[in-house]
Amino acid sequence: MIEDHFTTMSGRVIPLRIYVDPGDAPRALYAMDALKRAMKWDEEVFGREYDLDLFMIVAVRDFNFGAMENKGLNIFNSSVLLADADTATDMNFERIESVVAHEYFHNWTGNRITCRDWFQLCLKEGLTVFRDQEFSADMRGKAIARIKDVISLRSRQFPEDAGPLAHPVRPASYLKIDNFYTATIYEKGAELIRMLKTLIGEDNFAKGMDHYFETLDGTAATIEQFLNAFEAAAGVDLGAFQNWYSQAGTPRVSVQEAWDEANGTLTLTLRQHTPPTPGQSDKKPLPMPIRTGLVGEHGPLPMTLEGENAPGPDERIMVLDRAEQSWVFTGLGERPLVSILRGFSAPVILEQSRRPEDRARLMTRDADLFRRWEEAQSYGLEVLLGLTADENTNIDPAYLNALGTLAADRAIDPAFAALAIIPPSEADVLQYMKPADPGAIHAAHEGILTAFAKTQKTALMDAFERTRPEGDFTPDAVGAGRRALHNAALGILARLGPEEGGSLAQTAFAKADNMTDSLGALMALDRSGSDAFDVALAVFYDRWKDNPLVLDKWFAVQAGSVRADAIDRVERLLTHPAFTHDNPNRVRSLIGAFAQGNQAAFHAADGRGYALLAEQIKIIDPKNPALAARLLGAFESWQQLEPSRSARAKNTIENLLGTPNLSPNSYEIISRQLG
């Protein structure tokens, strides 16, 4: 046990205790610090004071979930509680900070006000995810935190919304409630709270939250009661907003511009459409805030709407609540670039055509950092899709130059540059390519990274060199940002090949004095194609074989390998003495990392990846049905694949459905995937 205390805003001294396995106490110190910061933040931002006379956390190694908010005694998976510089990466520190805050925040949004029934699960989870995201934004930087939240939403929730497992934020039915601890309930649920705050304004949102706490404390509540609290406190009508909770699917918003040079006016027309989802063929228009700015040659332009007498602000929130709406901006001396959906103000797919040179310009000049990152992603997506359609397509030099400009720009936050210079992931591209060919996507992705390394080597080396470790490791946002860019640049430079890229990565691995840099160099060695990768894996294993959490990382690096023998590696690791099906973390680190994180290998054209997962499901399902059902999510996009892969995937899950004594958890997922 480690112990500390926190003095509440009313002067009460609360003992804080964290229980861990013997020998792990020093690794719980960061979690204790995060807990104290979360308690203070909840008082300052939401006015919520802790109510008991003691707060405790216990960490366990074998646990299906990240953590649980049992009142006064939170139960944590060790992987989201224990950290130090030697054994944890910056992502681990960030995750611990977030999860510790999340479970503590549940004391008010989940425990003191709880759910009337399981259909209201998003009432506590969506709201509390929003609260922990806001906390992380204040700890780590708002723009960086927002980009990471959106990356998570798109990689986990958007595919869910687009596939056979689509369900509303408040589902209408379920077979096993375990299966509805989903990204839709959590992450999309949080996005609805964020939209609500944007639509009604910060002051009204604060009034509504206060009213919610005051009137529903000690009750088991519903979504309607939550929204009614805002209607009563802020005097707003949220009847149409409730449709977000009952309607599945991701809305698509298309942008059309009409420029009148003679009159200096721009007409902006937005249209929304939500594709059909299982059980919901007809969709209603939804109210959504669209945060927008206009960018001129030399910076932001005033947004003056037709009929206004004075110049408008540099940014507006336009509420799109019909199928189609238009806005006319006047007094413009030049045709602007429309910077739309800033901060990702609504969880939608934006359909906006741009010239490549305009995307490149916004990548480096937009005032909104999220929008700059988004333009880089959109530009990269267009290039990647072009390469998958025609292997002989040349990579647009303007795109590579823009990425190089971001890498070399010393004026921007390294944490932002690390995110902005990475092209869209293979999983992201798979969502937009129909029918999707994961092999072609992987080849195109590697092609871009190789071209980036070769054409922008000077800029990448500058980013790599100027972010070399200096002084002692600190897990704060500044240190994490430097390491993020350092390792992002190294990972791209690794594509220079075994000799040049491999040598760079090998040196970095030898010099690494923290887990973030050690793991970054190890992954770079994999991507370089160097034989030193296997040597480094052996060194890493010998050093950390007695630390279960670090050994999980060793398994995960190999499960995510981009090498041609990735499936062979996973099959060998399944027989490794350190692998066990009895520990959820170990299963996720190997089988989960392979099936859900290694698109090229899992979707191998011969179906070996599908067969491997199916065999593992047969072993895991009798032991741990909830974990098996989660792993089956890897098949959710089978209908989007090119015909050969799609047929193999369908045949695999059809055969699984006939497995004797299949758990209700897995049966529900497979039967829904098959329609």
- Compute CA distances 20 → 17, 77, 93, 195, 626, whole Å: 10, 10, 17, 39, 25
DSSP code, position 395: P
DSSP string, 567-588: HHHHHHHTTSTT--TT-HHHHI
Report how far residue 465's alpha carbon sits from residue 154's, in angstroms, rounded to the nearest whole number.
Answer: 32
Report how far residue 596's alpha carbon sits from residue 77's, in angstroms, rounded to the nearest whole number.
Answer: 20
Report how far residue 581's alpha carbon sits from residue 124's, in angstroms, rounded to the nearest whole number.
Answer: 31
DSSP code, position 480: H
Is 214 an annotated catalytic residue? Answer: no
- Residue 475, φ and ψ in degrees, nearest 5: -85, 15
Report how far residue 34's alpha carbon sits from residue 43's, in angstroms, rounded to the nearest whole number.
Answer: 14
* Burial (CB count <10 Å: 0-12, 13-18, 19+), residue 22: exposed
Amino acid at 631: L
Report how far residue 145's alpha carbon sits from residue 95's, in angstroms, rounded to the nearest whole number.
Answer: 12
DSSP string, 44-105: HHH-PPP-SS-EEEEEESS-SSSEE--TTEEEEEGGGT---TTT--HHHHHHHHHHHHHHHH
Report how far residue 464's alpha carbon sits from residue 483's, in angstroms, rounded to the nearest whole number.
Answer: 9
Report how far residue 13's alpha carbon sits from residue 6's, in angstroms, rounded to the nearest whole number.
Answer: 6
The pair of three-digit structure tokens given for residue 343, joined into one six-digit string = 């901060």
The pair of three-digit structure tokens given for residue 372, joined into one six-digit string = 């700059």
List of residues 6+ apart from 235 with CB closer than 8 A: none
Amino acid at 197: K
- Residue 201, φ and ψ in degrees, nearest 5: 95, 155
Single out the catalytic residue among 69, 97, 103, 191: 103
Query: Which segments of 220-321 are extended strands (E)?
Result: 220-221, 252-260, 265-273, 288-296, 299-301, 304-305, 315-320
Of 343, 326, 322, nearest to 267 by C-alpha is 326
Contact in structure between 475 and 85 (CB atoms under 8 Å): yes
Tell me which residues are annotated as active site.
103
